[in-house]
């Protein structure tokens, strides 16, 4: 965990938050590609050089927003929760920042690409986590498929949620997962 004792560490978190806020606002105001790192840094009162010390790339600012949520999913699984339970659990307290980011992602191909790639990384970690120590080949495949399909369902659910004003995100996810579990007619 991050220490919050020193002044140094507090300033860092503060700068980080300022960068995220600035980026989110600017992306929403003028679009992801039109907003430059220079502007974001200026808004957060920091040099562009420093921006890249906090985030490896322009897109990474938004990635950072959700990292905490994934950690909670991992934690839940480590305590014995199923994948579905873990995901649904973190969706409860909807930070509206989550919606803002997802809205941006849905409208910006470059951001979508970044997020999908991050999803694959997360999928790999989850597979390792869910897999028993000694698993046969078939078990591995089944788990990979489970996680990948769950993420696919999550993505479909979020899209559906974004286009349905006032709806509950968790409910969309539950519906999608239920459909998945009951078995898709792949041949239809």
Residues that bind its own copies in the complex, under the rule CB under 8 A:
82-85, 109, 112-114, 116-117, 119-120, 141-142, 144-146, 148-153, 155-156, 159-160, 175-177, 179-188
* Residue 12 binds to DNA (criterion: CB under 7 A): yes
H-helix segments, the chain: 7-30, 37-43, 48-54, 60-78, 83-91, 96-107, 109-130, 137-162, 169-181
- Shortest distance in whole angstroms from residue 147 CB to its own copies: 9
Q: Alpha carbon of 78 to those of 21, 29, 55, 130: distances in Å?
A: 32, 40, 28, 9
Contact track, DNA, 35-74, x by CB under 7 A? xxxx------xxxxxx-xxx-xxxx---------------
Cβ-based nearer residue to DNA, 112 or 127: 112
11 binds DNA (CB under 7 A): yes
Gap between the Cα atoms of 55 and 63, Å rounded: 9
C-alpha span between 60 and 25 (Å, rounded): 15
Residue 139 interacts with DNA (CB under 7 A)?
no
Nearest to 106 by CA among 164, 175, 148, 171: 164
Q: Which of DNA, its own copies, none does 52 bind, CB closer than 5 to 8 A by kind? A: DNA
Q: How many binding residues for DNA (CB under 7 A)?
A: 24
Binding site for DNA (CB under 7 A): 6-9, 11-12, 15, 35-38, 45-50, 52-54, 56-59
């Amino acid at each position: 965990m991050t220490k919050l004792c020193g002044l140094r560490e507090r300033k860092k978190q503060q700068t980080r938050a300022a960068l995220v806020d600035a980026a989110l606002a600017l992306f929403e105001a003028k679009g992801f590609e039109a907003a430059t790192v220079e502007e974001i840094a200026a808004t957060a009162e920091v040099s562009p050089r420093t921006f890249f010390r906090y985030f490896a790339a322009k897109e990474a600012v938004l990635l950072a927003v959700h990292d905490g949520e994934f950690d909670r999913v991992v934690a839940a699984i480590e305590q014995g929760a199923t994948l579905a339970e873990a995901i649904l659990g973190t969706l409860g307290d909807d930070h509206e920042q989550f919606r803002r980011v997802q809205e941006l992602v849905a409208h910006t191909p470059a951001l979508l690409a970044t997020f999908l790639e991050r999803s694959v990384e997360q999928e790999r970690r989850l597979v390792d986590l869910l897999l028993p120590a000694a698993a046969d080949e078939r078990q591995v495949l089944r788990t990979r498929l489970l996680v990948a399909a769950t993420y696919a369902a999550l993505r479909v659910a979020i899209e559906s949620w974004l286009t349905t004003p006032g709806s509950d995100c968790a409910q969309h996810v539950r519906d999608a997962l239920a459909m998945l579990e009951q078995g898709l007619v792949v041949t239809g």
